[in-house]
Amino acid sequence: MRLFALLLLSACSSVLLHAQSVPAKTLNVYPGAVPGALGHAVADRPTIDVYLPAANPTHSAVLVIPGGGYSKVVADREGAAPAEWLAQRGVAAFVLHYRVAPYRYPAPIDDAERAMRLLRGKAADFGFSPDHLGAWGFSAGGHIASILATLSDNGVPASPDPVEHASDRPDFVILAYPVIGMKTQFGQADSRQHLLGPMPDPAQVALLSAEDHVTSTSPPAFVFTTNDDDVVPSQNSMLYVAACQRAGVPVEFHMFEHGHHGVDLAEHLPPLHLWTLLLESWMQQNQWMAPAAQ
């Protein structure tokens, strides 16, 4: 019965709200000088692409964080495509272009934290509620989203920068075939090296292994992976899900038997294409997305 409902939901997608096919605008994450910048090229200046729906019934928004192993940002398939998917369903979407190698920790994490604070402070400008702001990360972007979910704060009231007064905590997270841990057993070696260097500081490895920092205050999570992902072991997702269960954090988990790494929305890959229908259902149940028009 649930599968039938999901397929019907997919069939109704053609009458959903129409999204803009290109960003409405692009924001600089830092209005002035970028802290720790190594130069003045595009790659040295983090930005956010804005995708707005025609209407936003649930007043929700999502920061989309593409993957790329901390060596690149897969901004099309894991950025623009999911942003358009969200906007078509009445949710404001924002794609983060964050710094990657040769930048190392904390630059990518700092960029994401700053982006969350900036968007929350501009919620009224973009038509969403500041307590309906989620984060959706793919692969290494999933690692960033999991860090936002576990190491966030409520803002820095003493900062002279008003952007820093807002919380960087997502109200929900979507983790698609995510890197979660930095430990060698199940960690993704390339992501770890690009983020932490060839000889990582053990303290940083521990800090950035999100499965060890889930608490009862961590936001609800939707986690998707495939059993035979040969780039990011599915145990990453399973560790995060188990941590949520221990902490009493609401979590929905879907692991498909087959599927290579980086399937993004899997629109033309049955049965993997069902994962976004499951996500859509989860967001609707939690009132972060309006039901499809019948």
Mean pLDDT of 172-195: 93
Q: How confident is the model at residue 294 (pLDDT cuts 50, 70, 90)?
A: low
Q: What 3-state class would DSSP assign to 11?
A: helix
What local confidence, expressed as pLDDT, does residue 15 receive? 39
* 215, 124 contact by CB (below 8 A): no
Q: Which residues contact 136 (CB under 8 A, 6 or more apart)?
A: 62, 63, 64, 65, 82, 86, 145, 173, 174, 176
What local confidence, expressed as pLDDT, does residue 186 receive? 80
- Between CA 127 and CA 234 the distance in angstroms is 36
Mean pLDDT of 63-90: 98
Whether the pLDDT of residue 192 is over 60: the answer is yes
Higher pLDDT, 255 or 13: 255
Give the CA distances from residue 138 to residues 113, 115, 271, in Å, rounded to whole numbers and listed in that order.
16, 17, 19
Q: How many CB atoms lie within 10 A of CB 154?
A: 10
Domains of the chain: 2-285 (3.40.50.1820)
Q: Residue ranges of the alpha helices (H) in the chain?
A: 2-11, 81-88, 107-121, 123-126, 140-150, 189-196, 202-207, 235-247, 274-285
* 173, 222 contact by CB (below 8 A): yes
Residue length, the chain?
294
What local confidence, expressed as pLDDT, does residue 111 receive? 98
CA distance from start to end of the chain: 18
Average pLDDT, rounded, for the chain = 93
CA 115 to chain centre: 12
* 161, 118 contact by CB (below 8 A): no
Select from 150, 148, 153, 149 the least CA-distant residue to 165.
153
Mean pLDDT of 32-60: 97
Q: Burial-class residue 257 by CB neighbours within 10 Å (0-12, 13-18, 19+).
A: exposed
Q: Could you tell me what percent of the chain has a pLDDT over 70?
A: 92
Phi, psi of 67 (to 5 degrees): -90, -165
Amino acid at 212: D
User: How do residues 80-122 score in pLDDT, each as one tens digit?
Assistant: 999 999 999 999 999 999 999 999 999 999 999 999 999 999 9
- For the sheet with 251-256, list strands across it: 25-28, 47-51, 92-97, 61-65, 133-138, 173-176, 221-226, 251-256
User: How do residues 47-62 score in pLDDT, each as one tens digit?
Assistant: 999 999 999 999 999 9
Within 13 Å and on the Cβ side, how many CA atoms surround 270? Answer: 2
- Buried (b) or exposed (e) across 268-281, using 16+ Cβ within 10 A? ebeebebbbbbbbb
Question: What does DSSP say about strands 47-51 and 92-97: parallel, antiparallel, or unpaired?
Answer: antiparallel
